[in-house]
Amino acid sequence: MKTWQVHIIIIFFVCFSCDNESVERYFATPSSLDIPKLFEDNILAPVIPIDNPQTVEGIALGKKLFFDPILSIDNTLACVDCHAPENAFTDSDKFSDGVDGIFGNRNSMPLFNLAWNYDEKFFWDGNTFSLEHQAFVPVTDPFEMKSNWTDVESKLQQHAEYPSLFEKAFGASNIDSSLVTKAIAQFERTLISANSKFDKFLLGELNLSPEELNGFNVFMDEAKGDCFHCHGSDKNPLWTDNIFHNNGLDETFADLGLGAVTGDPADNGKFKSPSLRNLEFTAPYMHDGRFASLDDVINHYSQGLKNSSTIDPLMKKVDQGGVGLTDKDKADLKAFLLSLSDYDFINSK
Amino acid sequence: MQRIILIILVLFMFTSCNKDNGVSQVQITFKFSHNWDGTAVSNANFNSIIYTNANGEDLSITKLRYLISKITFEKSSGETFILDGYNLVDVTNNTNQSFTPITTIPDGDYSKVSFTFGFDNDDNYNENYIDLNSASWNVPELLGGGYHYMQLEGKFIDNTTTETGYAYHTIRAVDNSGATQVFQDTFFEVDVGAVNITNNATFNIEMNIAEWFKNPNTWDLNVLNQMLMPNSSAQIMMYENGQNVFNLESVNQ
């Protein structure tokens, strides 16, 4: 027998050899993400941790937990209270108030297409790695739910429904915080938005108005909006790079953003580029919700830029406040941005 | 123990050399390092205004990433081996600075080894690269579409002593001033010379970043700092300056 034949036999032997240990494992019902065609065709696959696969039972549990105030210390505040579906899972208020009525200092982030955040850095300043770890934070944050995990686990364990739901989702009768966050993360990964007017235009299903088309050109023109370097494009339908930039909001920083996380002064004043999808529903804008309207945002980039040591080099004509878009280009840019509104998304959850 | 022996045997099978007729298939790695006129540059040196270009402007680097493709080995007989794939070198995030294509080549004498800076037109326009799209590496359709070749960004001290941003982005040059777009190719081949390959080999390629601002066009950042993608003449100057930025430092094998 030739050597290569021996090798093949050995490989088969290794691959198919029996494992003597008999271990009973519970498997919930797999539920693959419904990946939009534009995502499938143009960008990398979503990030799904190997130790937290999507399942029907896990997603249902995560959704129930997301909408349930049981995670808060006094059972008054749920995730959904600051991440409302009708607002593309953000808060219409500048800042959100926690169980004690105390407001935080950053605008609630909208939640969609989170599985395509390839670097898995979450929050405005990227302080938390992975969606599962992100879900830990608000539960114990004193300005949000102000709980502690021992109490939450105890409440869930004594609940009439949750023990069986965790059993079905994870095969575990003992509820712990990691299973809670895994379930919530599974639900959050199903929050997929890709059915806006512009998506349908890219799919050849309808036409844009001349104003929307011109607005898209302003967005893609390096000498005008130059939005595409940080906010995606027709080829990157996330409409964000999920990277941190100083977009010229301030000369000095009351909030260091990424710099407070990394300790690097070169990161001061940098915050994550948010997706431009669903802007129609996500006002106010910026990490501190300082802009009430899209007009305010466009005016900022056009004529309101402020210089600082970490302002992104892509911010242009900073000494003049910006590139100075015409009123027509501003209006058309706004029309294009609003074509990224996904009504199906906000009505489907 | 038995299983360990089997695994060792399997590993042996996968790592054993493929040598037929005295010719071995070898793996090629391209490693990229960066310097400013000889001083090593890494992302640890970013964000500080510590460099001076040929025009005398003090500047920093905040971002550097660039695309290379079509690593090609050519024998004197004309036989050519093109290694599959492309690589987006990302100095900012310290990733992809070493690239080992899956394709192997026979060992032996090669009269010319080269790679392409950017994409040639075939690669640039005829494929949709989901990894590059995800990295926001595209060029707008207004400028012909395709992909960036390089993004070099930073700050410089302008002639009013103000810190000002620059975005030295290279793409295929396009002149949009007339009724029809006029393109000029700006990808280029980097010829690293003849090499005798005797084993798995690592090509150590250096980029002198200062050269982008130096030769033959002394780059004036006060004039050319931003909005360079739609500036066809600036793109052609970048192409000209790019001819001398790469150098083969060594080959380890």
Percent of chain A with pLDDT over 70: 93
B136 contacts A233? CB cut-off 8 A: yes
Q: A187: part of which helix (H) or strand (E)?
A: helix A177-189
The three-class DSSP label of residue A146 is coil
Q: pLDDT class for A348, splitting at 50, 70, 90?
A: confident
| Number of alpha helices (DSSP H) and beta strands (DSSP E) in chain B | 4, 19
- Tens-place pLDDT, residues B62-90: 999 999 999 999 999 999 999 999 999 99
CA–CA separation, B47 and A323 (whole Å): 24
User: Rounded mean pLDDT of chain A?
Assistant: 94
Cβ A256 vs Cβ A270: under 8 Å? no
- Average pLDDT (A138-161) is 97
| pLDDT confidence of residue A173 | 87
Residues with Cβ within 8 Å of A18's Cβ and at least 6 positions away in sequence, in order, are none
- Average pLDDT (A287-291) is 98
- Average pLDDT (A86-104) is 96
| pLDDT confidence of residue A349 | 63
Give the largest Cα separation in chain B, rounded: 75
Residue A19 CB burial class (10 angstroms; 0-12, 13-18, ≥19): exposed
Higher pLDDT, A298 or B6: A298
A221 contacts B163? CB cut-off 8 A: no
Instruction: Find the CB nearest A313 among B136, B162, B165.
Output: B165
| pLDDT confidence of residue B13 | 46
Identical topology for domains A37-189 and A197-348: yes
> Does any CB of chain A come closer than 8 Å to the CB of residue B17?
no
| pLDDT confidence of residue B14 | 46
| pLDDT confidence of residue B22 | 74
Q: Which of A12-16, A108-112, B18-22, B247-251 has the lowest mean pLDDT?
A: A12-16
| pLDDT confidence of residue A26 | 83
Instruction: Find the CB nearest B140 among A44, A220, A314.
Output: A220
Q: What topology does CATH give the domain A197-348?
A: Cytochrome Bc1 Complex; Chain D, domain 2 (1.10.760)
CA–CA separation, A128 and A124 (whole Å): 10
| pLDDT confidence of residue A9 | 54
- Average pLDDT (B17-28) is 75
B162 contacts A307? CB cut-off 8 A: yes
| pLDDT confidence of residue B98 | 97
pTM: 0.91
Question: Looking at CA atoms only, how far is residue A16 from chain B in angstroms?
Answer: 12
Question: Looking at CA atoms only, how far is residue B197 from chain A in angstroms?
Answer: 28
| pLDDT confidence of residue B23 | 79
Q: In the Cβ-directed half-sphere of B54, how many Cα atoms lie within 13 Å?
A: 15
3 state SS for A246-263: CCCCCCCCCCCEHHHHHC
Do you find a cis peptide bond into A284, omega within 30 degrees of 0? yes
Mutate to test the interface with B, among A12, A213, A235, A238 (most CBs of B within 10 A): A235
Residue A270 CB coordination number (10 Å): 27
Nearest-by-CA chain A residue for B43: A266
| pLDDT confidence of residue B3 | 53
CA–CA separation, B57 and B74 (whole Å): 41
CA–CA separation, A197 and A193 (whole Å): 12
Tell me the two tokens of residue B20.
């037929």
| pLDDT confidence of residue B12 | 45
| pLDDT confidence of residue A11 | 52
Mutate to test the interface with B, among A116, A314, A325, A336 (most CBs of B within 10 A): A314
Residue A223 CB burial class (10 angstroms; 0-12, 13-18, ≥19): middle
For residue A152, what are the CA distances in angstroms to A76, A104, A327? 13, 22, 53
| Number of alpha helices (DSSP H) and beta strands (DSSP E) in chain A | 15, 4
A11 contacts B167? CB cut-off 8 A: no
Q: Which amino acid is at B225?
A: N
- Average pLDDT (B131-142) is 97
CATH superfamily to which A37-189 belongs: Cytochrome c-like domain (1.10.760.10)
A235 contacts B138? CB cut-off 8 A: yes
Instruction: Find the CB nearest B138 among A118, A233, A317.
Output: A233
- Tens-place pLDDT, residues A9-44: 555 454 445 444 556 778 899 999 999 999 999 999
> Does any CB of chain A come closer than 8 Å to the CB of residue B11?
no
ipTM: 0.91
**Residue ranges per domain, chain A?**
37-189, 197-348
